[in-house]
Amino acid sequence: MDFNSYIRDIKDFPKEGIVFKDITPLLKDAKAMKRAANSLFDLVGGRKIDKVVGMESRGFFFAPLLASKLEAGFIPVRKAGKLPYRTISEVYTLEYGEDILEIHEDAIQKGERILIHDDVLATGGTAEAVRKLIEKMGGEIVQCNFLIELDFLNGKDKLKGCEVKSLLHY
């Protein structure tokens, strides 16, 4: 299936000069969404996964589907102050400043095998912060898995030592 035809470019969003990759056309088509979920699952290649970690907010679309298919738990990583239980946090750099990501302190046990999933790998800052959180907790990252990778931004460079797989490349 040509998933590219389900990705809509939005110029100058969220700010001038950015071309935003809008995945909502893919999400609203049941067959395309199912095939994308199956293709993301196939990228894992039969590896044993204990937990799938999805990042706020668009990582929440496919990460629970992957967790279900992998018979693994789903762990949300959210921006500061959004999770109800005790958390650990990681500060990360954005192109316009800093932000904080948090995970529940009991979400991952030492030695658990983790799949990180998000919709887009751009500069890699968010994924790098999530990787650091998982490593602090003693989790073993099996793969970083993305619907879209923006190759020209070299986000993969921030994930050295992690296997990175993406369904679409731009």
What residues are annotated to the active site? 58, 95
Q: 89, 36, 93, 106: which is closest to 65 by C-alpha?
A: 36
Residue whose structure tokens are 């750099």: 93
Alpha-carbon radius of gyration of the chain = 15
How many angstroms separate the CA atoms of 64 and 72, rounded? 9
Helices vs. strands in the chain: H and E counts, helices first: 4, 9
Q: 42, 96, 86: which is closest to 65 by C-alpha?
A: 42
